[in-house]
A and B are shown apart, each in its own frame.
Chain A
């Protein structure tokens, strides 16, 4: 009987083979785009790093310099250490927050998640700029320390500050990646463990934690890879010893014009990211990134056994601790501590962003929090400056163009992949996710090299292409999820009811997928609107976008105009973000029996 059931499960026929082939063709435009503007320029960059610029001969001198000790090797190791520290902190600080979110009812989770999503969508530039103001010698933190009787400390230009600000920047990412895995863990499993005799501590360590590990690993991977390519935080908040690889690339290419060295460092960055991905794939399987279940769970793998062993030991330990605690305090429920922790983290995430609003209305000539008096003069400055207004308008235009192209390519590709079962689909999926793995700085530098040959440097089109490469993965993931959840039998139903294909699309398909389409559009726009690196290289100092203008200003002179600009960014981000939430399709509630 059981064997029969298994056979029928296996023999499920693939649906409609004739559809799958034609559908996969829709992936082609996106694939061509990425081959032309991601793979080809990256390959060129690799060649540049391996060739002597004068003789054109093959050489490994640039790479040997990286490993020869001295500043390059130091930077390489400090980049790794900072990235690793950032990743660990993001996971340790973010896990309880994600856990707290996952245990809320769906309605309340959606509300609470807004507080994490908002900082997620606010640009790293704005967040780090806030810490620059707060942690300065005359910043609010030092004022507080002074008021409590401590001597003001030098908080900026420390390794710890860099790590802290990077964790602050990427914690929302870690939480948003961990949350879906936790949401998928059936509550019944904990109940089952409960009835089998497991205490709350053992339920967590033996059942919940192992099941949430794929999300933790995915969060670790994404945070680590983004952290490797970071340059905003170490530039603004770090000292000379906290220099990271991306900063070296900028120096080599923008200041020293040493393409071979810059390219070699870029190749190192990509290699580091690829090795990380490879290790991740060996251990967990890349398919878990898109929410699929891991197929790498080996029956007696060392990782699995070690993980289960640690879970058992921790379960027993925490069980004993919890018993001791409840015996000492008499309290049975310490759940409020988790909630308090979650709200504390949310406050730390949100406050620096909201603090710009009062700072922008300061009457003083210096940025300070809290502002000594209030006025509109800095917004006036902002609106009267052709530089600021021009860059804002350009960012808008580039954002709209990027969003449109990205949506077109991503929709076609996601539709094609969702409707096909071809093996090639997996390759296409990997290609579309690649811009997430290649650090933005490498994408920018390689495009800079390519566009220099095509006279696309210092053009809006160049920036739009670069932004599209960067915005593609996330829009693609959003749309792929939309199409995968879409029930195609509805289309068939509409067709059998007499609707012509275009009417099926207008009347049935579009209304059901428009939330996902809109989300894809907004994510692409926001990524472009806040993107700095591409604009830095390809803008060529001529086509200045809003983030580039802010970056230049922060490096030159910090004025309250910057706070006004930050408020503009935050307001636009908030407006779009809430629009996206508003249009998000209501999740179908599973009715409880």
Chain B
């Protein structure tokens, strides 16, 4: 029943920061053949990655996928075992963190507990020898940007989690670093606050035109925030694409399963654009380009499935669960092979009893084919 835990609301057309300039913008960060070994374990396998100026790129992956390691190498807090880091055309592979002109927003904010909000925000200006008057002006500006002018004399422990988060953002944006790295900055916040802060980060990104690399394990967050998503798995980059492309055309089963709720039908490609699965033989979209006899998989999003009478439709199974979620009801259907299929139905349709046998079809939307 693990599918049920993934039933978080995800829809492909949620608002997304689409930066029209990102496409032709110069390359801000180039990662070439970057690898990291810890003892005998490869945390990162020789990756290549380009990030364009003004882009918001998320590194998405489960824990242990290597996304935090990659971020730490880019920030200069961890040295790579191989490869190069080029920022603004300059090789920074061996530069220490404090000489890189990058900004990092840490998971637990890492605010200095002995300094006030103003002093925290002004720390980087201090390090750069900015004059006192100039520094004061910019601190006020940065605090105004995150709506914390009134809190400038407080200590971090006197602030709520969301406020601490805003201080961390202000501390990072104030010195306009050429590259901003965010390491799961919202993971400590509750869901409501997290959504507010996502909006805030998008706004800051838009207003400042900064380049941001954002690490998260939350696919909703990645879909909502990113210009592009870089999906990582076992120390490798699985796919880099826009959120829409990644949702609609995942390049591997791993990506399909990680992003959104996916129903994956695995089987063998047959003559005449057919896929033989354990439950049924189903039609493949034209032009899949696979030889008969090779293994393949179909990815079908729950919103593209229709429930029909048991003797109609391409698949047949038993309803084992129905989860009411306001605007829609999610139905879990068990196929004969034991494979669980999730279907989204608008609420208000005739309810389906648990145990009833139904058929499934996908009339309007061709499923996405993956060669495995």
Interface residues of A (CB under 8 A from B): 1-3, 5-6, 9, 186, 188-189, 191-199, 202, 206-207, 210-211, 293, 297, 299-300, 304, 308, 312, 593
B98–A197 CB distance below 8 A: yes
A2–B124 CB distance below 8 A: no
B107 within 8 A of A: yes
Partner of A1, one of B68, B97, B162: B162
A5–B97 CB distance below 8 A: no
A2–B98 CB distance below 8 A: no
B107–A593 CB distance below 8 A: yes
B98–A207 CB distance below 8 A: no
Looking at the assembled complex, report how far the CB atom of B26 sits from the nearest CB atom of chain A, in whole angstroms. Answer: 23
B313 within 8 A of A: no
Bound-complex Cα distance A388 to B170 (A): 70
A194–B96 CB distance below 8 A: yes
B171–A196 CB distance below 8 A: yes
B137 within 8 A of A: no
B98–A9 CB distance below 8 A: no
Looking at the assembled complex, report how far the CB atom of B316 sits from the nearest CB atom of chain A, in whole angstroms. Answer: 43
Partner of A2, one of B99, B128, B160: B160
Which chain A residues border B75 with CB–CB below 8 Å?
195
Stretch in contact with the other chain, from B109-117, B252-260, B271-279: B109-117
The closest CB in chain B to the CB of A187 belongs to: B110
Bound-complex Cα distance A191 to B107 (A): 12
What total count of A-B pairs have CB within 8 Å? 94
Main secondary structure on A side of the interface with B: helix
Partner of B104, one of A195, A293, A299, A312: A195
Bound-complex Cα distance A312 to B126 (A): 9
Partner of B193, one of A5, A192, A304, A312: A5
Given known A6-B160, A202-B127, A299-B153, contact A188–B108 (CB-CB < 8 A): yes
A195–B98 CB distance below 8 A: yes
In the assembled complex, 11 residue pairs joining A and B whose CB atoms fall closer than 8 Å, in A order, are A1-B192, A9-B160, A189-B110, A191-B104, A193-B112, A195-B75, A196-B98, A197-B98, A297-B114, A299-B153, A593-B68
Partner of A195, one of B77, B116, B196: B77
Bound-complex Cα distance A195 to B77 (A): 8
Bound-complex Cα distance A1 to B196 (A): 9
Given known A2-B163, A293-B157, contact A299–B124 (CB-CB < 8 A): no
Bound-complex Cα distance A206 to B98 (A): 14
Task: Report B85-111 CB contacts with A as 1/0, cut-off 8 Å.
Answer: 000000000001111111110111011
Bound-complex Cα distance A297 to B97 (A): 30
Which chain B residues border A2 with CB–CB below 8 Å?
160, 162-163
B116–A299 CB distance below 8 A: yes
B127–A197 CB distance below 8 A: yes
Which chain A residues border B192 with CB–CB below 8 Å?
1
B110–A210 CB distance below 8 A: no
A5–B162 CB distance below 8 A: yes
B63 within 8 A of A: yes
Which chain B residues border A188 with CB–CB below 8 Å?
106, 108, 110
The closest CB in chain A to the CB of B192 belongs to: A1
Q: List 8 additional A-B contacts (Cβ < 8 Å) besides A191-B110, A192-B110, A196-B175.
A: A1-B192, A191-B77, A193-B112, A194-B76, A195-B104, A196-B124, A198-B98, A297-B155
A1–B127 CB distance below 8 A: no
Which chain A residues border B209 with CB–CB below 8 Å?
none
Looking at the assembled complex, report how far the CB atom of B62 sits from the nearest CB atom of chain A, in whole angstroms. Answer: 11
Which chain A residues border B102 with CB–CB below 8 Å?
195
The closest CB in chain B to the CB of A203 belongs to: B98
Looking at the assembled complex, report how far the CB atom of A116 sits from the nearest CB atom of chain B, in whole angstroms. Answer: 26
Partner of A191, one of B106, B126, B163, B196: B106
A199–B98 CB distance below 8 A: yes
Which chain A residues border B171 with CB–CB below 8 Å?
196
B163–A194 CB distance below 8 A: no
Bound-complex Cα distance A234 to B223 (A): 73
A5–B160 CB distance below 8 A: yes
